[in-house]
Chain A
């Protein structure tokens, strides 16, 4: 409440328009959240309670039983899925970043014939869908003995990430001022030294953005995992969820399925919540040519 100079209180009028806009915006926001709320509710209640709809609140007996079963089930335990997802995602994040940064620096700073055309070609690889490489990779991995191994999946994810990280990091490197690097060169530093002593430290925000995006992309991936990982011990989290949902030997009820879904979702959500600035920057940045 504001007081004007004469000491009388004046209540500011809130225009109807603002109220309406706020109502619409928040309404839509809550509407969008609603299905996730449903998943959450289904996961913390015994399945018998939600068979007629999770919004039925009578009876309401919250329990962590679903999570427990999802985690510890002997044939498809989520703890193993999570572990495997980390085993795949972490190297698949750091390896391509390292490899692509090297190449991106080369594209940004070195001059050689056909450089830009080569770069464009590599960037166009981003447009290829996973399906285009799946069959030969499947056969190659079997022949190399890498099928159904984590190393195989990691290599594939690494190679797959290279085009977009190359694009992203090259654009970024090009925005860095040349003077610092030139000064170092005058001092007699080699290319590698300049790269990792000077350029990389300056690039940490961009690298963070790339890491966040890549980690989430690999974590959420299903197709490559489905093609390349097969025995129960090796399945990643995203593969376990559809297994639990299909009628058959691994079938679980909706409550356990919801708990498992939340377990899989929670990791990228946490990553997003903590690193969202980097995530947003990465998402917008990688479509731009510097």
Chain B
């Protein structure tokens, strides 16, 4: 008899827990008649800038959408499991190009060769996604990493000129230091997980090694330990990192959180900040912001253009509608609307410079004549990225370790 009571007790506690959990936990959306689901990494203000484009899509096609913010690092580990279960959490997902290509070749990303047309895009925009004649995704707008940002007013106040040669650049750094016009090192190193440092390195490689150097490294035909790569590091970047060579201490600050760093740099604690073009949306008044690429170097030089890539999973529940969205995102209508809010550069041709805010128009204009490069660590991806970043942090900490760093980076390259 008591057995019954105890068993009932067991049941009740478990059911009570289950009910509590069920009612207190947020409900997951019902799987029937769902809107077109889009997953992107943007939240808060960046998301607010993206939604108008999705709204335009909804208004022109009548297709309702749902946008969900998810960090790409989280998706890196989750999506493979979804794919293994032959399902996908959304109909269109933004992910780095290395991911899209890897999983596209395994059949999890739909071939968009008939949907997005290469002729729409600037040369090379879709290259990281291509495998033969198949294109496993599309490119949306992107951000450029054009060079070192500075305040026009700051330079004017101290009578600094934009250098045209490397020696001029070194002289500028020395000058800033001797003048004491900032309280810290002339250049601020942004950090976080490490990608801002890799942006810097890619810029040095693209300028003084030439865009072919970046391409060959990405194609794994040129090792990091080769003399040409080593020399770009040693003769340029490491000179500025090593105390006593160009500046008394390092010309670069110890890596700081890159987003708080923006405020510090804008305030005048630092003179130069290497960043991507999204920085124009982060400071006011952005009429004061200017950018200078590294001077001199190989001609034509390369500029890293990190486009936001997306793909449509083959398991998307609304495959055709997702492809329509993909085509839309790759159209000049969508991208033109996006660039008007600032901080974005279009990957498609057909977006006039007049659509950009002034500062972005300058950047877009600067792109002419330069070779567009994709982001190196995003393209290689995988475990390489993490090691790449931490090794660069180590290089910043100890520039004399250049050889060890290059060896470690090369060891982390995928076969």
Residues of chain A whose beta carbon lies under 8 Å from any beta carbon of chain B: 74-75, 83, 87, 91, 94-95, 98, 138-139, 142-143, 149-151, 154, 190, 192-193, 196, 230-234, 246-251, 253
CB of A95 within 8 A of CB of B13, answer yes
Additional A-B contact list (12), CB under 8 Å, known A247-B191, A251-B259: A74-B44, A83-B24, A91-B21, A95-B14, A98-B13, A142-B85, A154-B21, A192-B6, A230-B78, A233-B26, A246-B192, A247-B258
Say whether chain A's binding surface is mostly helix, strand, loop, or mixed: helix
CB-nearest residue of chain B to A143? B85
How many B residues touch A, CB cutoff 8 Å?
36
Chain B 1-29 near chain A by CB (<8 Å), digits 1 or 0:
01101100010011001101110111010
Residues of chain B whose beta carbon lies under 8 Å from any beta carbon of chain A: 2-3, 5-6, 10, 13-14, 17-18, 20-22, 24-26, 28, 41-44, 46, 69-71, 74, 78, 81-82, 85, 191-193, 257-260
CB-nearest residue of chain A to B190? A247
B81 partner residues in chain A, CB cutoff 8 A: 138-139, 142
- Residue in B25, B70, B85, B193 whose CB lies within 8 Å of A87: B25
Closest 7 CB pairs of A and B: A247-B192, A249-B43, A233-B26, A91-B17, A192-B6, A193-B2, A247-B257
26 contacts between A and B (CB under 8 A): A74-B44, A75-B69, A83-B24, A87-B24, A87-B25, A91-B21, A138-B81, A143-B85, A149-B21, A149-B25, A154-B17, A154-B21, A192-B2, A230-B74, A234-B25, A246-B192, A247-B191, A247-B192, A247-B257, A248-B192, A249-B42, A249-B44, A249-B46, A249-B69, A249-B71, A251-B260
Give A142 to B28 CA distance when docked, in angstroms: 14
Give A251 to B44 CA distance when docked, in angstroms: 11
- Residue in A98, A154, A230, A234 whose CB lies within 8 Å of B26: A234
Nearest-CB distance from B389 to chain A (Å)? 12
CB-nearest residue of chain A to B17? A91
B10 partner residues in chain A, CB cutoff 8 A: 98
Which of B26, B78, B82 gathers most chain A CB within 10 Å? B26
B69 partner residues in chain A, CB cutoff 8 A: 75, 232, 249
A230 partner residues in chain B, CB cutoff 8 A: 74, 78
Which of A75, A230, A250 gathers most chain B CB within 10 Å? A230
Nearest-CB distance from B378 to chain A (Å)? 15
Q: If the complex has contacts A87-B24, A151-B18, A230-B74, are A247 and B44 also in contact, measured as CB distance less than 8 A? A: no
Give A74 to B69 CA distance when docked, in angstroms: 13
Nearest-CB distance from B253 to chain A (Å)? 14
Nearest-CB distance from A221 to chain B (Å)? 17
Give A138 to B74 CA distance when docked, in angstroms: 14
Nearest-CB distance from A189 to chain B (Å)? 8
B257 partner residues in chain A, CB cutoff 8 A: 247, 251
Give A83 to B24 CA distance when docked, in angstroms: 9
Give A167 to B46 CA distance when docked, in angstroms: 52
B24 partner residues in chain A, CB cutoff 8 A: 83, 87, 150
Which of A87, A95, A150, A251 gathers most chain B CB within 10 Å? A150
B71 partner residues in chain A, CB cutoff 8 A: 248-249
CB of A87 within 8 A of CB of B3, answer no
Q: If the complex has contacts A142-B81, A230-B78, are A151 and B21 also in contact, measured as CB distance less than 8 A? A: yes
CB of B21 within 8 A of CB of A87, answer yes
Give A108 to B33 CA distance when docked, in angstroms: 55
Give A87 to B71 CA distance when docked, in angstroms: 24
CB of A190 within 8 A of CB of B41, answer no
CB of A196 within 8 A of CB of B21, answer no
Give A174 to B358 CA distance when docked, in angstroms: 80
CB-nearest residue of chain A to B13? A98
B3 partner residues in chain A, CB cutoff 8 A: 190, 192
CB of B21 within 8 A of CB of A150, answer yes
Nearest-CB distance from A97 to chain B (Å)? 11
Give A230 to B76 CA distance when docked, in angstroms: 13
CB of B20 within 8 A of CB of A249, answer no
Give A129 to B63 CA distance when docked, in angstroms: 48
Nearest-CB distance from B236 to chain A (Å)? 26
Give A117 to B34 CA distance when docked, in angstroms: 54
- Residue in B6, B14, B26, B193 whose CB lies within 8 Å of A246: B193
A253 partner residues in chain B, CB cutoff 8 A: 260
A246 partner residues in chain B, CB cutoff 8 A: 192-193
CB of B2 within 8 A of CB of A91, answer no
CB of A75 within 8 A of CB of B20, answer no
Nearest-CB distance from A200 to chain B (Å)? 11
Give A196 to B3 CA distance when docked, in angstroms: 11
Nearest-CB distance from B34 to chain A (Å)? 15
Q: If the complex has contacts A91-B20, A232-B69, are A247 and B25 also in contact, measured as CB distance less than 8 A? A: no
Give A83 to B82 CA distance when docked, in angstroms: 28
CB-nearest residue of chain A to B7? A192
Nearest-CB distance from B268 to chain A (Å)? 14
A95 partner residues in chain B, CB cutoff 8 A: 13-14, 17
Give A99 to B305 CA distance when docked, in angstroms: 57
Give A3 to B4 CA distance when docked, in angstroms: 73
Give A286 to B106 CA distance when docked, in angstroms: 50
